[in-house]
């Protein structure tokens, strides 16, 4: 198993943040999105929020690959529709490259290495 941590900012607007959270409740997330996540070898995903900053923890199969996941997403119309909807709420971090959303974080501490 591998673990990845990623961060992303939301537009700093309470109404938009509330709507983003609405879409991420278990009963509102599209089943096709859950299936695309699981189908890519992601076994567990959690998203946390403080203010307008999001933090995602992903636990994946050992052979998980971000490029493969991106290619799968590019060919999935429902995932593309979801991503377009989510972009309404999201904004790139100041150091993100053009079109980059979720930013992979570097581990800088481990209590039990």
pLDDT digits (tens, 9 = 90+) for 87-101: 999 999 999 999 889
- Residue 35 neighbours by CB under 8 Å, 6+ apart: none
Range of the domain at 31: 2-104
Confidence grade of residue 61 (pLDDT, cut at 50, 70, 90): very high
109 belongs to a structural domain: no
Task: Read off the CATH number of the domain in which 30 is found.
Answer: 3.30.70.1090
β-pairing, 90-91 with 2-10?
antiparallel
- Residue 55 neighbours by CB under 8 Å, 6+ apart: 5, 6, 7, 47, 48, 49
Rounded CA Rg of the chain: 14
110 belongs to a structural domain: no
Q: What is the pTM of this model?
A: 0.92
| pLDDT given at position 79 | 97
Nearest to 61 by CA among 32, 39, 35, 79: 39
31 belongs to a structural domain: yes
The residue-averaged pLDDT of 42-58 equals: 98
95 belongs to a structural domain: yes
Residue 76 is classified by DSSP as -
| pLDDT given at position 99 | 83
């Amino acid at each position: 198993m591998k673990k990845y941590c990623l961060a992303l900012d939301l537009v700093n607007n309470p109404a938009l943040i509330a709507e983003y959270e609405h879409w991420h409740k278990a009963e509102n997330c599209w089943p096709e999105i859950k299936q695309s996540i699981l189908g890519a070898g992601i076994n567990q995903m959690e998203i946390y929020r403080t203010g307008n900053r999001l933090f995602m923890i992903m636990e994946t199969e050992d052979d998980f690959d971000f490029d493969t996941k991106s290619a799968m997403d590019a060919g999935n119309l429902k995932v593309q529709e979801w991503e377009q909807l989510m972009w309404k709420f999201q904004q790139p971090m100041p150091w993100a490259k053009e079109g980059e959303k979720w930013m992979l974080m570097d581990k800088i501490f481990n209590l039990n290495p």
